[in-house]
Structure 1
Amino acid sequence: MPMSFAPLAALENTAEFLPRHIGIAAADEAHMLSVVGAASRRALIDATVPRSIARSRPMELPAPASEAQALAELKAMAAKNQVLKSFIGQGYYGTHTPGVILRNVLENPAWYTAYTPYQAEISQGRMEALINFQTMVCDLTAMQIANASMLDEATAAAEAMALAKRSVKSQSQRFIVSGDTHPQTIEVIQTRAAPFGIEVVVTASPQAWADALDGDYFAALAQYPASSGRIDDLRADVTKVHARQAAFIAAADLLALTLITPPGEWGADIVVGCTQRFGMPMGAGGPHAAYMACRDEFKRSLPGRLVGVSVDAHGDPAYRLALQTREQHIRREKATSNICTAQVLPAVVASMYAVYHGPMGLQRIAQRVASFTAVLAQGLAQLGVKVRAQGCFDTLYLETDEATELIANSAVSAGVNLRNHSNNALSIALDETTTRADIALLWQIFAAEGQTLPTFEAFERGVKPLIPAALRRTSTYLTHPVFNTHHSETAMLRYIRQLSDKDLALDRSMIPLGSCTMKLNATSEMIPITWPEFAHIHPFAPADQLQGYHELDAQLRAWLCEATGYAAVSLQPNAGSQGEYAGLLAIKAYHDAQGASHRHICLIPASAHGTNPASAQMAGMEVVVTACDARGNVDMADLQAKCEQYSQHLACVMITYPSTHGVFEAQVKELCALVHQHGGRVYVDGANMNALVGLAAPGEFGGDVSHLNLHKTFCIPHGGGGPGVGPVCVVADLAPYLPGHATAGRESGVGAVSAAPLGNAAVLPISWMYIRMMGAVGLQQATEIAILSANYISARLKKHYPTLYAGGTDNSGHVAHECILDLRAFKDSSGVMAEDVAKRLMDYGFHAPTLSFPVPNTLMVEPTESESLHEIDRFIDAMIAIRAEIAQIENGTWPQDNNPLKNAPHTAASLLEDDWDRPYSRALAAYPVAALRQHKYWSPVGRVDNVYGDRNLFCSCLPVHSND
């Protein structure tokens, strides 16, 4: 037969990305609908989503583009950025990402698609990398303990302020900050301090700093080296601070600490900073891994995540997240931090950078920077430039007086950005990427016409460094073998592969985590993040050099407004928790502006995400918990009673929609109207937005504020626990209270919530690409398929594990995009807990669903729209097989304390032991279903002992003998 051709329009299919993102084909969909008992996808949606909240109109988004077309459009946008050579400094520096790390970590889905390592046994690789990070920070700062990364240096400094406040004996409400601290850090500290009534005193000069330290305060913070480059001897200041029972905080540069005396050696209590210059591009501000280190006495109040060493069921060392009860989803309104997400992927990059270069390599890089700085200073002095006399590492402060603007403009014309201070001065910060040609160009920029330029020949025999002799480091660091072994590319490549092989990420199998939306992070979405036009630009470069980023920001905000129904969006929050916090600050600022500062009560249902009460507390609100009914819905009677009780003081209510129980609550519009009637605002947590896009918009059905998780619904990968982006979306009258950034010339009523004006700007192209390739129809289809997949799992498993909460417009028992499997009865019938099922799933090659949240001893499952029917069925089959194993315990075939669930996960080493004293076969332990014989993931460790890990807290690299 002759070949027939389709119409040309069909051949030019620009929606080609849609079936690549959505894993369910048409035939699969028909089968799934028959299992669910719905005549069509439309019928399922109508029976699941309340008609009262349906969108008033479709989203107005561009028609979907092909992958190639979208990449071309984004490339044209990126070209509008001007990537000049940056000597701005201010916490952001040029760096070389080693190719072996760029390709095999930053661009590798084995690393960027991983989830937060709450399931320790299948996260040993990334946790070893984080232990390396913690050890690196402890060694370079000379502090006893460090956490596994924070969001950015500015928020780390603000968290250090809070840590000091709850840890010292001083009862003062005053916090002293050196005026020579990075301006963005000061801004975020001021934002964070205001709700707590903390007075931030920013000193204008060294003398003002000295005078302030003679006063009353609970802590003091200084940049080391200072933002202008000066290296101060802070030892006497620390003594003065401690005499007042206060804490001393240092914001320190890790590369500088390879050469200068570390804060731990001169008495600092807390040290914070950023690891950006350890291999992560500037990216217009992020993502970058900040760090926090502290004295041992503060460790149990240390915010963020902490990776510790415990032992597994076989007595072998194993990594785990330590002190997990500190996390805000456990402590709720008693939490002292709402840091729910870290910057794990950038932290891994930084730790691998240290592993690859080792102590001698880092020292060589630092010595080269310091030497070039000294050469530049001498050459500028020869040219008659007023270089401020000061000890320094990488930054020179130049007194340029009335010539400041002229020189700065000349520099830009020459392709160079300098830092322009507000007092007729410029500074120049050098970094790893600085070359001899750069130094020569800088001399040329500052030389008068006809003036003879300095030459490098005069400095070939070396120069005297500008680091004060009394502050030069003499102690060793990074002595562990891991930092002294993998220096060839072959060795490094194999080390990275060795660690990634220990982990279970989305590149291996479905990660069915409820509320966490582990969906496809498409390659085309990821490609642009390392484009030079996005990666190598300073966040505080002149605005006209960031036109591509500003266009990206504007388009993405407009599209998110379409998706949510809100009037305005800020992309500055660099985590979902930060988006929550910013939204609550906006509500608080609005009430203050209306003369209603007394409105401080935040109503939160008992089922809410744990970040909600933590964020409210940090925003200066008082949390009042409201009840839920037997079906998991907000108890409207109790909510009404609370609204009436606190009417005069009601600030807001925080709800999650669909609910944390995975149900569309029919009365949500009535709830919003009730709160508005009492003068409060409605915060709709956007964590479950993957069930709403295209179907309903919070800004239409009564929400005033929402945060989104771009690392969930909009495809930015989780990266092992970060990076994230948490845009805050608001209605029109709250728009003036979105986060601003005075350092970038955009002030607002609430201030800055992250160090960079655009937050984690470098990953915004991922969400832009996703929306551009999906279009409005594609985004809505993704939502509908996510709902179908969740209902399919619930329907197929209901005979084995009842779904705890269900709803539907006709009480059909449908769920939203996730379902909660009820395992509580097994505790009495077999001794099996949800955790045992989670660990046994590892033997089947799956990451566990969300464990015991929001209801203890349950599993919350979210398949997402990206998983194929084959993979969903594979998960269902595993769960059914595990139910059969539970039955073997229930009928007495296996004892309650010795069975495949209690002993899971099974390691290869345990199966090869000579003595096998278990009442089931080795084959059942390893291959409970036949398909695993062809495709098997082996857990590298047995079940980790959580109690032992907390009682024997150890949070740095294992001693050499432990690795034997």
Structure 2
Amino acid sequence: MTINQSGWRPEAPLANGAGDQPTFTGNRALMLEEPLLFEIGSTDRTGVDFEPAPQATNRLGGLERGKIGLPGLSEPETVRHYTRLSRQNYAIDLGVFPLGSCTMKHNPRLNERVARLPGFADIHPLQPVSTVQGALALIHLVGEWLCKLTGMPAVAMSPKAGAHGELCGLLAIRAALEARGDARQVILVPESAHGTNPATAAFCGYAVENIPATAEGRVNLDALKARLGPDVAGVMITNPNTCGLFERDMTAISEAVHAVGGLVYCDGANFNAIVGRVRPGDLGIDAMHINLHKTFSTPHGGGGPGAGPVVFSEALAPFAPLPFVEQTDAGFRLVEEETAEDHHAHSFGRMVAFHGQMGMFTRAASYMLSHGADGLRQVSGDAVLNANYILRQLEDVLDAPFAASGPCMHEALFSDTGMAQGFTTLDIAKGLIDEGFHPMTVYFPLVVHGAMLVEPTETESKAGLDQFIGALRSVAERGRAGDETLKSAPHFAPRRRLDETAAARSPILAQRILADQDD
């Protein structure tokens, strides 16, 4: 018996002929097993012939030449390698991506075309302001839309991601409290909030205290009020929360926090569930970040920095970060310094060197303008409709801990309660891979044991949802029946189930060492 180059043993042998010893190749139909680049190529050859180059020199003398240890591959070998790897990767263009809380929606190709227009795709951050008026106008346009949709008077466009936006909001809160000589030390974070919330608060130097959830998965208002006091700088709350539920007491929470001199930060990662329907500013929120990839369809990544703009209330607007775009009678200007004579004097400072997210801003602008206000309202409605459809279609085979709390928002939450003895959420997730789907978010939120969080988004059709529901229902029924084959799933993926704990805690890393590296 032989083993293929990558060292992976597939389940079934390949017979070479009568009486031959079986050989394991790792190939499955048209999905070829793909070795590493170092196993395909060789470090002693190159895929292209070059004329000998003259001896290179610099100011210090000649440059030593030596082996760099990279494999030489031909162009077909290189193209095939990365193409084969891409076929082993799941993507939103292949099917529904049901990750809860991540909002993996379709990225319209119109947005991609706009992002590649000259003047957006090829500008440089050090160009004179007079030569980038169109780019500044677009940033200002996106900011205006965000202010209008949230009911907030100010926005910071510079944060590069959701967690970066959280940091921005808390720094503004701290600056506002310190400006009035009231440096407080505690941030309250409900159990139903996003996991980055307590991490951000701790990073800002605050002590973090948890607020418990009620039996129906929402913030315990009485427990929150009981903890409020002169040491509380504010609360970080996710609404809709990670249980997929709208915080119905949001206004009461804001009023209680403001009554003791604190401020309210809202994690706006789930704004896509309420955009066009609820304005966070009307709920008493002082700062909220918005993930453009979640609500306004910019891709995760997208070839550059992400974007997590932060909107501010009147109380925090003077403390917003630099730089930002401002419209004047003469056009648009980039405000990069605080000045004593205007409303920028109290800015907490700069978080980034430049507005480097033009690719995100252009995509978001395209999405906003193509939908309009009415279209964005339909987007949130369709997202909520799809999630509730999944919830009700699966609640008879999967435990839905908060189904009795009323309709969910943009994501449906299940648990592994009801599975056969020894079967867990991980088995359901791995079984779903064999059905051709990426698993949902598992074991989050932490308030639900064996959580499975499913977010279909608004971009999935009913036919697509029915296909996903059928697959998940099949796997759930196998788990309830104690189908032992589920314990070893996936069976049809390029790799079988790994020991994920050992892989994270005791990784085995290998590097080919050149035998002649000292030559």
Q: For this structure pair, what is the TM-score category when the shorter chain's length is used for normalisation?
A: 0.7 to 0.9
Q: Which whole-Å deviations, capped at 9, do the CAs of 1:691-737 have from their partners, x for residues lacking one? A: 11011011111110000111111101124998521111111231222
Distance 2:267 2:247 in 1: 14
Deviation at 1:865, TM superposition (A): 0.7
Deviation at 1:529, TM superposition (A): 2.6
Quick one: which of 84, 107, 110 aligns to 1:524?
Answer: 110
Q: Which has the higher helix share?
A: 1
State yes or no: 1:906 paired with 2:491.
yes
Residues 463 and 473 of structure 1, relative CA distance in 2, 3 Å threshold: closer
Q: What is the correspondence of 1:176-187 to structure 2 with a 5 Å cutoff?
A: none
Quick one: which of 423, 427, 430 aligns to 1:832?
Answer: 423
Give the letter aligned to residue 840 of structure 1.
G
- Same amino acid, percent of matched pairs: 37
SS of the aligned residue for 1:500 comes to helix
Q: What is the correspondence of 1:723-738 to structure 2 with a 5 Å cutoff?
A: 723-738=305-320
SS of the aligned residue for 2:277 comes to coil
Residues 731 and 688 of structure 1, relative CA distance in 2, 3 Å threshold: same
State yes or no: 1:822 paired with 2:415.
yes
Residues 464 and 723 of structure 1, relative CA distance in 2, 3 Å threshold: closer
Q: What is the correspondence of 1:191-590 to structure 2 with a 5 Å cutoff?
A: 465-466=58-59, 468-469=60-61, 476-477=67-68, 479-481=69-71, 484-486=72-74, 488=75, 490-590=76-176
Distance 1:839 1:511 in 2: 15
Q: Which whole-Å deviations, capped at 9, do the CAs of 1:499-527 have from their partners, x for residues lacking one? A: 11001111111011111111110101111
SS of the aligned residue for 2:460 comes to coil
**Residues 192 and 213 in structure 2, CA contact (< 8 A), matched pair in contact too:** yes
Q: Which residue of 2 aligns with 1:803?
A: 400
Distance 1:474 1:606 in 2: 58
Distance 1:519 1:795 in 2: 21
Q: Which residue of 2 aligns with 1:62?
A: none
Q: Which residue of 2 aligns with 1:747?
A: 337
State yes or no: 1:768 paired with 2:350.
no
SS of the aligned residue for 1:682 comes to strand
Quick one: which of 173, 176, 180 aligns to 1:594?
Answer: 180
Q: Which residue of 1 aligns with 2:437?
A: 846
Distance 1:759 1:602 in 2: 31
Deviation at 1:883, TM superposition (A): 2.3
Residues 475 and 667 of structure 1, relative CA distance in 2, 3 Å threshold: farther
Deviation at 1:885, TM superposition (A): 1.2
Deviation at 1:464, TM superposition (A): 5.1
**Residues 310 and 944 in structure 1, CA contact (< 8 A), matched pair in contact too:** no
Q: Which residue of 2 aligns with 1:864?
A: 457
**Residues 570 and 727 in structure 1, CA contact (< 8 A), matched pair in contact too:** yes
**Residues 566 and 699 in structure 1, CA contact (< 8 A), matched pair in contact too:** yes
Distance 1:866 1:575 in 2: 23
SS of the aligned residue for 1:578 comes to helix
Residues 670 and 584 of structure 1, relative CA distance in 2, 3 Å threshold: same
Residues 493 and 528 of structure 1, relative CA distance in 2, 3 Å threshold: farther
SS of the aligned residue for 2:189 comes to strand
Distance 2:433 2:513 in 1: 28
**Residues 689 and 713 in structure 1, CA contact (< 8 A), matched pair in contact too:** yes
Distance 1:800 1:695 in 2: 32
Residues 958 and 787 of structure 1, relative CA distance in 2, 3 Å threshold: farther
State yes or no: 1:950 paired with 2:515.
no
Distance 1:733 1:462 in 2: 65
Structure 1 segments of 4 or more deviating over 6 A?
A: 309-314, 358-361, 956-960
Q: Which residue of 1 aligns with 2:495?
A: 941
Residues 360 and 700 of structure 1, relative CA distance in 2, 3 Å threshold: farther
Deviation at 1:659, TM superposition (A): 1.3
Quick one: which of 438, 462, 472 aligns to 1:879?
Answer: 472
Residues 665 and 847 of structure 1, relative CA distance in 2, 3 Å threshold: same
**Residues 398 and 418 in structure 2, CA contact (< 8 A), matched pair in contact too:** no
Deviation at 1:360, TM superposition (A): 8.9
State yes or no: 1:618 paired with 2:172.
no
RCO greater where, 1 or 2, for CA within 8 Å and sep 6 or more? 1
Deviation at 1:655, TM superposition (A): 0.4
State yes or no: 1:607 paired with 2:192.
yes
**Residues 715 and 770 in structure 1, CA contact (< 8 A), matched pair in contact too:** yes
Deviation at 1:476, TM superposition (A): 4.6
Give the letter aligned to residue 396 of structure 2.
K
Deviation at 1:945, TM superposition (A): 1.8
Residues 724 and 631 of structure 1, relative CA distance in 2, 3 Å threshold: same
Q: Which residue of 1 aligns with 2:265?
A: 683
Give the letter aligned to residue 853 of structure 1.
F
Q: What is the correspondence of 1:94-113 to structure 2 with a 5 Å cutoff?
A: none
Quick one: which of 378, 384, 389 aligns to 1:792?
Answer: 389
Deviation at 1:528, TM superposition (A): 2.6
Work out which of the two has the higher radius of gyration on C-alpha atoms and give 1 or 2.
1
Q: Which whole-Å deviations, capped at 9, do the CAs of 1:403-436 have from their partners, x for residues lacking one? A: xxxxxxxxxxxxxxxxxxxxxxxxxxxxxxxxxx
State yes or no: 1:630 paired with 2:220.
no
SS of the aligned residue for 2:91 comes to coil
**Residues 740 and 747 in structure 1, CA contact (< 8 A), matched pair in contact too:** yes
Give the letter aligned to residue 521 of structure 1.
N
Give the letter aligned to residue 712 of structure 1.
K
**Residues 305 and 356 in structure 2, CA contact (< 8 A), matched pair in contact too:** no
Q: Which residue of 2 aligns with 1:669?
A: 251
Q: Which whole-Å deviations, capped at 9, do the CAs of 1:599-640 have from their partners, x for residues lacking one? A: 121100122111101111111211111111111111111101
SS of the aligned residue for 2:456 comes to coil
Distance 1:774 1:568 in 2: 23
Q: What is the correspondence of 1:692-711 to structure 2 with a 5 Å cutoff?
A: 692-711=274-293
Structure 1: 5+ residue runs without aligned partners? 1-308, 319-350, 369-460, 908-938
Give the letter aligned to residue 776 of structure 1.
A
Deviation at 1:745, TM superposition (A): 5.9
Structure 2: 5+ residue runs without aligned partners? 1-5, 12-23, 27-36, 325-333, 339-346, 515-519
Q: In the comparison of the two structures, how many residue pairs are matched? A: 460
Distance 1:313 1:946 in 2: 19
Deviation at 1:782, TM superposition (A): 0.7
Deviation at 1:651, TM superposition (A): 0.9
Deviation at 1:313, TM superposition (A): 9.3
Deviation at 1:767, TM superposition (A): 0.5
SS of the aligned residue for 1:655 comes to strand
Residues 863 and 956 of structure 1, relative CA distance in 2, 3 Å threshold: farther
Q: Which residue of 2 aligns with 1:58?
A: none
Q: Which whole-Å deviations, capped at 9, do the CAs of 1:425-472 have from their partners, x for residues lacking one? A: xxxxxxxxxxxxxxxxxxxxxxxxxxxxxxxxxxxx998534x349x6
Distance 1:542 1:360 in 2: 44
Q: What is the correspondence of 1:114-193 to structure 2 with a 5 Å cutoff?
A: none
Give the letter aligned to residue 786 of structure 1.
A
Residues 719 and 957 of structure 1, relative CA distance in 2, 3 Å threshold: farther
RMSD: 3.2
Q: Which whole-Å deviations, capped at 9, do the CAs of 1:564-613 have from their partners, x for residues lacking one? A: 1111111211111101111111111111111112x121100122111101
Deviation at 1:852, TM superposition (A): 0.7
Distance 2:172 2:267 in 1: 15
Residues 752 and 310 of structure 1, relative CA distance in 2, 3 Å threshold: farther
Residues 723 and 959 of structure 1, relative CA distance in 2, 3 Å threshold: farther
Distance 1:614 1:952 in 2: 25
